[in-house]
Structure 1
Amino acid sequence: MDVEAFLQVAEELIAVPSTADRPRELERALELVLEFVGPGFTVERFERAGKPSALVYPEGAGGRPDFRVILNGHVDVVPALPEQFRPRREGDRLYGRGAQDMKVSALVEAQVFRELATMVPYALGLQVVTDEEVGGRNGTLHQIEQGVTAGFVVIGEFSGLRVVNESKGIVVARLHAVGRAAHSAYQWSGDNALLKLQRSVDNLLAKYPVPEAEQWRTTVNVARIHTPNQAFNQVPALAEAWLDIRFPPEDTDFNGRSAEEIAGYLADFCEPGVTPSIDSADPPHHADPASAELLALQRAARDQGYSGDLLRKHGAADGRFYYQHGVDAVIFGVGGDGLHGPSEYADISTIAPYHRALTRFLREL
């Protein structure tokens, strides 16, 4: 591949502030990738809840095929300061929001698809979505619900050419506290919802403390604590906490449980007047390490001088939706660092090997 020409397009894509609250920029990022793929392909478009996505495959396929392989990438990013949408290069690093997660990998997938889709003796698809950072339910999951099928899926999230075949499950939950308002000078006349909520959160964190270093165990992130109270001299009557819970397969308090059962489990940590609710609950993701496709992907990475080692990730990705439908999906992407931070970058030296590894993998299936 012509890495310099590729990087020029990658920088253009990174410069698009495609955050969830900017629907026009989501559309612009999606269109940029589709333009990069070029003509000669069928582009099937989807949209739900204002989040567009696309599925690309060769023309003349006689309708949407059952794909042997789908290359999946997302072009939405988390919010950042304006300067992070001005990409810059320093040595082998391409800095910018989305460089590592995962615009560079998505664009490599698009190039590999463009080069091979009409050459391989099976149905190859490219899936580009714009909502992975906010849950993926209106992109990848929506397409699956519309009948998109595959035998194997490569999610282009960053991995440094290692193969991620396991990731934690995710529960998005809220704790709702109800108390009784009163004048703050007469606290005994009220019931402070915020204090009850705080004690409930403390109970939960006593069971799941914030780890001091990486550990393969359940974690609970308190993402927000809020009360609608607007007065210093009023006891809050209502309060709410947002929880992001990540759990490995071994934690049977979450894994294999329904949303109702998980809410019941969380209720055990709550003070009277505090009630849990579950926004979503997705199981851990797993792909068979002995599958022919996964082994072939590892060989392709090793042929480029990389270990191709198996990894497990703490974060969830859209592969979990395929897993829930009985399809093996793995994460395989470029290298980099600074995920979601102010110094996010992609490792430029991994781009060409990633392209070659994906190419070899698809040719040898």
Structure 2
Amino acid sequence: MDDLLDAAARLIAIRSTADRPGELSAALEYVLGRVGPGFTVERFLSRGKPSALVHTGGTRPDFRVILNAHLDVVPAPDELFRPRIRDGRLYGRGAQDMKVAALVMADVFRELAPVLPYPLGLQLVTDEEVGGYDGTAHQIDAGVGAGFVVIGEQSGLRVVTESRGILQVRLHATGTAAHAAYPWLGDNALLKLLTGIERVLTRHPLPGHEVWATTVNVARVETPDAAVNQVPAAAVAWLDIRFPPEDRAYAGRTREQVERHLRDLSGLEVSVDGFGAPHRADPDSREVGLLRAAARDAGFGGDLLRKHGAADGRFYSARGVDAVIFGPGGDGQHGPGEYADLATVAPYRAALVTFLRALR
């Protein structure tokens, strides 16, 4: 554990955010160094985002299992890149999401890949926090596939077989500029925009508790005006929409169909910036059963879990490959108090080893 904690502290100290390509590469190289020599490392690069696929042998095999980990993190103040341990918790940006899990996966791969009776892959990416299109999705487009995928996102050793889809859109309103003293001479675009947002929120009201339903976050509202004494002639809102497979207004639809639906709903022009399908794996599959049993052997319940956030498993799910999220515990993801629960790290490693050894 001491060796792992030292490695985790070093990895957390690397500011591997999307705007720092050098640090993304540094984080990738650090984990590849942890894996060590004697393996084939395939390197990928898409739009400045590096990733790697590690396996045994010279030719890429048909993987029975891929362990998937992302090494990028969301931005944070300087102090969150100075990891600290307190009360059995490792605090720092990326401690929970998901640098500790990435190191555990690297260690398990190093130990088991040479001896398992099937091909095991380790997939390391650096763009999950900004969509995953240049890491996991890029590798899949390049022909990487597997029979089953374990993504090390945090789950408290529960097995995540479902997660909601993601839709990121902008609503656009236009009007007529005027002097603020004579508003009747103008047409306020911002007021139109707020009316359109209200229509969307009426269809998808903000829940007061956890629900498995479509939710909408209004992330930004802005106009190009620099003066307060102007009637805005243009305004835009940024929305983040998360939806389950059951919501057929979004799930199973094309970008154009979703755009049309939101245009009719809001009465505004719509731009779709990001659109990812919900993720689902068969909860009754043999692999999920073995992984749940391995979690129970490690002292946890092996429960199934639905996740509200999107992860890279959706890219495999879209290709008909079962992918689950299975990671250690912690809390505070993307927040100032993010931490990994160190009491779950050794059981998490043990569960991965048990699962991979049991699988044939």
Q: TM-score, normalised by structure 2?
A: 0.98
- Structure 2 residue aligned with 1:290, among 284, 307, 319? 284
Structure 1 Cα separation of the partners of residues 138 and 186 of structure 2: 46
Q: By how many angstroms is 1:289 displaced?
A: 1.0
Question: Which letter does structure 2 place at the counterpart of 1:313?
Answer: K
Superposed CA RMSD in Å reads 1.0
Given that 2:204 and 2:216 are in contact with CA atoms closer than 8 Å, whether structure 1 keeps it comes out as: yes
Q: Tell me, what secondary structure is at the counterpart of 1:265?
A: helix
Once the two structures are overlaid, the 10-residue window that deviates more, 173-182 or 146-155, is 173-182
Aligned to 1:81: 77
Aligned to 1:24: 22
Structure 1 Cα separation of the partners of residues 224 and 50 of structure 2: 33
Structure 1 Cα separation of the partners of residues 216 and 105 of structure 2: 33
Alignment of 1:4-15 (within 5 A): 4-15=2-13
Aligned to 1:72: 68
Residue by residue over 1:213-245, the C-alpha shift from the partner in whole angstroms, topping out at 9 and shown as x without a partner, is 111111001111111111222211111111110
- Structure 1 residue aligned with 2:318, among 313, 324, 333? 324
Q: Tell me, what secondary structure is at the counterpart of 1:252?
A: coil
Instruction: Indicate yes or no: 2:344 matched with 1:350.
Output: yes
Q: By how many angstroms is 1:270 displaced?
A: 2.2
Question: Which letter does structure 2 place at the counterpart of 1:107?
Answer: L
Aligned to 1:110: 106
Q: By how many angstroms is 1:179 displaced?
A: 1.4
Question: Which letter does structure 2 place at the counterpart of 1:7?
Answer: L
- Structure 1 residue aligned with 2:32, among 29, 34, 43? 34
Identity of aligned residues (%): 65
Instruction: Indicate yes or no: 2:131 matched with 1:151.
Output: no
Structure 1 Cα separation of the partners of residues 69 and 235 of structure 2: 37
Q: By how many angstroms is 1:62 displaced?
A: 4.0
Q: By how many angstroms is 1:156 displaced?
A: 0.1
Aligned to 1:201: 197
Aligned to 1:47: 45
Structure 2 Cα separation of the partners of residues 195 and 49 of structure 1: 38
Alignment of 1:94-109 (within 5 A): 94-109=90-105
Alignment of 1:117-266 (within 5 A): 117-266=113-262
Given that 1:53 and 1:129 are in contact with CA atoms closer than 8 Å, whether structure 2 keeps it comes out as: yes
Structure 2 Cα separation of the partners of residues 210 and 342 of structure 1: 24
Structure 1 Cα separation of the partners of residues 318 and 354 of structure 2: 28
Unaligned stretches of 5+ residues in structure 1: none
Structure 2 Cα separation of the partners of residues 123 and 280 of structure 1: 33
Question: Which letter does structure 1 place at the counterpart of 2:31?
Answer: V
Instruction: Indicate yes or no: 2:295 matched with 1:306.
Output: no
Aligned length: 359
Residue by residue over 1:129-168, the C-alpha shift from the partner in whole angstroms, topping out at 9 and shown as x without a partner, is 0100110001000000011011100000001111000001
Q: TM-score, normalised by structure 1?
A: 0.97
Q: Tell me, what secondary structure is at the counterpart of 1:269?
A: helix
Q: By how many angstroms is 1:268 displaced?
A: 2.1
Structure 2 Cα separation of the partners of residues 240 and 67 of structure 1: 45
Structure 2 Cα separation of the partners of residues 194 and 31 of structure 1: 47
**Structure 1 residue ranges, 4+ long, deviating more than 3 angstroms after superposition:** none
Given that 1:218 and 1:247 are in contact with CA atoms closer than 8 Å, whether structure 2 keeps it comes out as: yes
Question: Which letter does structure 2 place at the counterpart of 1:351?
Answer: V
Given that 1:87 and 1:96 are in contact with CA atoms closer than 8 Å, whether structure 2 keeps it comes out as: yes
Structure 2 Cα separation of the partners of residues 237 and 86 of structure 1: 45
Q: Tell me, what secondary structure is at the counterpart of 1:83?
A: helix
Residue by residue over 1:181-206, the C-alpha shift from the partner in whole angstroms, topping out at 9 and shown as x without a partner, is 12222222221111111111011112
Q: Tell me, what secondary structure is at the counterpart of 2:242?
A: strand
Structure 2 Cα separation of the partners of residues 283 and 39 of structure 1: 37
Structure 2 Cα separation of the partners of residues 250 and 173 of structure 1: 20
Q: By how many angstroms is 1:65 displaced?
A: 1.1
Unaligned stretches of 5+ residues in structure 2: none
Residue by residue over 1:342-361, the C-alpha shift from the partner in whole angstroms, topping out at 9 and shown as x without a partner, is 10000101111111110111
Structure 1 Cα separation of the partners of residues 275 and 128 of structure 2: 15
Question: Which letter does structure 1 place at the counterpart of 2:298?
Answer: Q
Residue by residue over 1:12-54, the C-alpha shift from the partner in whole angstroms, topping out at 9 and shown as x without a partner, is 0011111111111111111110010011111111111111111
